[in-house]
Structure 1
Amino acid sequence: MRIEDVRAIPGVSGFFFDDQRAIKQGATQDGFDYEGDPVTPGFERVREAGECLIVELELTDGTVARGDCAAVQYSGAGGRDPLFRAAEYVPVVEGPVADALVGRDATAFGGNATVVESLDPAKTDGDRLHTAVRYGVSQALLNAAARASHRTPTDVLAEAYGTVPADEPVPVFGQSGDERYANAEKMILKGVPVLPHGLFNSVEKVGDDGETLVEYLDWLAERATERGEAYDPRFHVDVYGVLGEVFGPPYDREEVVSYFEELRAAASPYPLQVEGPMDAEGRAEQIHAMAELREGLASAGVDVDLVADEWCNTLDDVQAFVDTGAADVVQVKAPDLGGIQRSAEAVRYCEGTDTRAYLGGTCNETVTSARACAHVALATNAAQVLAKPGMGFDEGFMVVTNEMRRTIARREADAATEVTADD
């Protein structure tokens, strides 16, 4: 089965693009919008409607495989690729990308993905393809390989990377958006394994001394306990580097460690993960700051796990954070790694280390990209996977959970059929 045609269609994503630096520098919310001038190059306003680029691969038998090029909500921040304008990349996908893929064997996922990653920069108007383009095209290639070989995308990935897929759904991490109370209530009612994200992306939301975050975790622990003994979630809050603004370095000093002990006590008896405690000026600085804080917490016996996000974008970045022991968990932020195979490689790199892999992404993705990531999570048995797209919680939780359950059921049925055939 060959790839016969490649099409690209601009579409919409599940949320918005936000200028993170402008928000941190004081842009204020005006209803759902923000007041203020954009700071990050490429933005025309602080909040812009999200975009995606739909990629379709037509195969020899007329089957169409799809993937969606999508970029993170906070594009252009923390070392990430610039704001993604879908229409600008239609001629790239239908030009040099199509030239490289048309006529190739659709079942050869690994080889096809490598061809896209290694396209001649001179043909793509840049040093390399935008991460969003590589992300979407690789999803379509994975879909094509699965359809052409009559297997699940999970099985395609497992074969490519020599893994044994998970036989039950990977724990799903719900994200609340700014409705951090109402959506957390929903998560607790639905028994979400990891919650609530929280979107603590400003000093105002965290508190001048971090007190508002402590109060929130205390409330969250109380509500989770009220659900009953059968519910034993893990708490995960994302602070977008804001604690670095509240406290500043060095991060192993008593004031900072004591604050994390307050967070730990507020979250008790549930495990706590804090994502992106600070946002330094570059990867080396971020690794140093994260490692400093992690060592300080360990020395004081404060059991709070740190999650790397800022400056942890590429496969090389993930490897650097893991190798230096700078985090307990690394977010494998799928759109930022480019090809979806890179996400699988990043999760696998954490195997045998004391760093867990969280297969993440962004609210600003699509149903298509979220379903593809669910297969990566299953194939690599990641520690947790993000509920996406959107910020309403329910929809993303449904999309990712159902895709994993469908896949597991199909794999079990296929295995049973094979056993019957052998008998």
Structure 2
Amino acid sequence: MKIVDLVCSEGKTGFYFDDQKAIKMGAKHDGLFYIGEPKTEGFTAIRQAGESISVMLILEDGQVAHGDCAAVQYSGAGGRDPLFLAKDFIPVIENDIKPLLVGREIESFKSVAEEFDHLQVNGKRLHTAIRYGITQAILDAVAKTKKVTMAEVVKEEYNPEIELKRIPIFTQSGDDRYLNADKMIVKGADVLPHGLFNNVEEKLGLKGELLKEYVEWLRDRVKQYKTEEDYSPIFHIDVYGTIGEAFDNDTKAMADYLAELEEAAKPYQLRIEGPMDVGSRTAQMEAMRDLRAMLDERGINVELVADEWCNTLEDVKYFADNKAGHMIQVKTPDLGGINNTIEAILYCNEVGVGAYIGGTCNETNRSAEICCNIAIACGAKQTLAKPGMGVDEGYMIINNEMNRVIALAGRRK
């Protein structure tokens, strides 16, 4: 099947771009807005509408394949590529990528995706968001050419032995961690609530007491309102390094506290994402490795999830090789081409470390659907309900896409 045209359109994402530097410097809230001047290049406000670009490939039979270029909430921070604004990057796609795709036969995904993921323009690789969206569109084009789902394309090219089946969906609450947890329980979410515990004094507690109280509340809430007797969600809470901050990154003290959380969560399984942030890639790997080893040695049944300092395919492999956590979040936009997301999950599976398709609230329905196909085809441990922070919308998008894919693939069996 030949690509006969490429068309771009500007879009909005399911959340916002936030200037992390300004926020860390103390910018205050006024409702949804932040007060003050932005500190990161490219921002015109500390919080501004998230933007995306839909890349539509017109195939010779009239079908349209498309993917969405999108970047994370904290764009331009932590070594990431700069703020992703549609007006700045549509010309790059139209001038530098379109001529390379139009007129091309598109029959397989992997080799073409790798080509565009590594493409350089004026000596530089493309923005991660562009690589993300272009490779999505290529995957969709191959699926439409073969008249199968995108999951089936990934399965055929990367993971032919996999059974396409439902995997757990992980819902995220944002700061509204009580009301949104109720939504998750009503929906019967497999994994909940994320929680956004990103401040010691206000959210975790100086001795971890506030998080412990929340875990106890969540446990009791599930027991009280679950509609199915066998409903047993996993509690997955992201603490953004605050446990390490509260306990001076002392491995034994952190393990002791996690043992308390394990008891508070029972009978539900507990996962803690980003327990510490020690400031560098190697040190973070070592801290996660050592804490996991201590938990395993002491029989503390809390799973650690790597996040901070684990942003690229190479980082994922580094953390997985060293068993720096029981699970790794694969942050899809930061990896660039979705071929890297596929490789990351399969590598973790190979070495016996869990991997989940994460990403950002600041994506689109389209990038979320395509990530869902990848998660199913690669046998990820779980997949994030995205975009947005409202629970219902992200859960609907992922749940419904998952069921559609499984139903269609099952029909062809």
- For the aligned pair, the TM-score class normalised by the smaller chain equals over 0.9
Output one character per residue of 1:64-110: Cα deviation in whole Å (capped at 9) or x when no partner.
11110011112234443332222211111111111222222222222
Separation in 2, partners of 1:37, 1:298: 46
Q: Which residue of 2 aligns with 1:420?
A: none
Task: Trace 1:54-133 onto structure 2 (pairs within 5 A).
Answer: 54-122=54-122, 127-133=124-130
Q: Which moved more, 1:159-168 or 1:366-375?
A: 159-168
* 1:279 corresponds to 2:277: yes
Q: Are 1:78 and 1:282, in contact at CA under 8 Å, matched by a contact in 2?
A: no
Q: 1:265 aligns with which of 250, 260, 263?
A: 263
Per the TM alignment, residue 160 of structure 1 is displaced from its structure 2 partner at its CA by: 1.2
Aligned to 2:26: 26
Per-residue Cα deviation, 1:255-274 (whole angstroms, up to 9, x for no partner): 22222122212111111111
CA contact (8 A) 1:8 1:90 kept: yes
Q: Classify 1:289/1:127 alpha carbon distance in 2 versus 1 (closer, same or farther; 3 Å).
A: farther
Question: For residues 408 and 220 of structure 1, what CA distance do their matches in structure 2 show?
Answer: 31
Give 1:147's aligned residue. 144
Indicate whether 1:314 and 2:312 are aligned.
Answer: yes
Deviation at 1:377, TM superposition (A): 0.8
Aligned length: 410
SS of 1:327's partner is coil
| 1:53 paired residue number | 53
Question: Match for 2:349 among 327, 348, 351?
Answer: 351
Shift of 1:5: 1.4
Amino acid in structure 1 at the alignment position of 2:364: T
Aligned pair partner of 2:395 in 394, 397, 413: 397
3-state SS in 2 of match to 1:305: strand
Matched-pair contact (CA < 8 Å) for 1:202–1:242: yes
Tell me the TM-score normalised to structure 1 length.
0.92
User: In the aligned structure 2, how far is the partner of 1:288 from the partner of 1:121?
Assistant: 36
**Equivalent residue for 2:217?**
219
1:381 aligns with 2:361: no
Distance 2:399 2:406 in 1: 11
How far has the Cα of 1:362 moved from its partner? Answer: 0.9
Which residue in 2 is equivalent to 1:419?
Answer: none
Question: Could you tell me which residue of structure 1 aligns to residue 406 of structure 2?
Answer: 408
- Percent same amino acid among aligned pairs? 51
1:336-377 deviations in whole A, cap 9, x for unaligned?
Answer: 111111111110001233310111111111010011011001
Gaps of 5+ in 1: 416-423
Deviation at 1:172, TM superposition (A): 0.3
SS of 1:406's equivalent?
helix
In the alignment, is the contact (CA less than 8 A) between 2:117 and 2:135 conserved in 1?
A: no
Whether 1:174 aligns to 2:171 is: yes
* SS in structure 1 of the partner of residue 272 of structure 2: strand
Match of 1:398, SS state, is: helix
Segment of structure 1 superposing worse, 290-299 or 377-386: 290-299
Question: Residues 243, 28 of structure 1: CA spacing in aligned structure 2 closer, same or farther, 3 A cutoff?
Answer: farther
CA contact (8 A) 1:7 1:93 kept: no
* 2:251 alignment partner in structure 1: 252
Structure 2 residue ranges without an equivalent (≥5): none
Counterpart position of 1:242 = 242
Q: Does residue 1:194 correspond to 2:191, yes or no?
A: yes
Q: Alpha carbons of 1:202 and 1:47: their partners in 2 closer, same or farther (altered >3 Å)?
A: farther
Taking the aligned partners of 2:69 and 2:353, their CA distance within structure 1 comes to 29
CA RMSD across the alignment: 1.8
Would you say the 8 A contact 1:79–1:313 is kept in 2? no
Instruction: Answer yes or no: is 1:291 the counterpart of 2:289.
Output: yes
Instruction: Check conservation: 2:244, 2:254, Cα contact below 8 A.
Output: no
| Pairing partner for 1:303 from 277, 301, 304 | 301
Aligned-partner residue type, residue 118 of structure 2: S
Q: CA shift at 1:229, angstroms?
A: 3.2
Amino acid at match of 1:35: I
Describe the SS at the equivalent of 2:83: coil
TM-score (normalizing by structure 2): 0.94
Residues 6, 26 of structure 1: alpha-carbon distance in 2 compared, 3 angstrom cutoff: same
Of 94-103 and 169-178, more deviation after overlay is shown by: 94-103
Question: Structure 2 CA distance, aligned partners of 1:159 and 1:205?
Answer: 45
Describe the shift of the 1:241–1:392 C-alpha distance in structure 2 as closer, same or farther (beyond 3 A).
same
Instruction: Tell which deviates more after alignment, 45-54 or 202-211.
Output: 202-211
What secondary structure sits across from 2:62 in the alignment? coil
SS in 1 for 2:412: helix
CA contact (8 A) 1:361 1:386 kept: yes
CA distance in 1, matches of 2:319, 2:215: 27
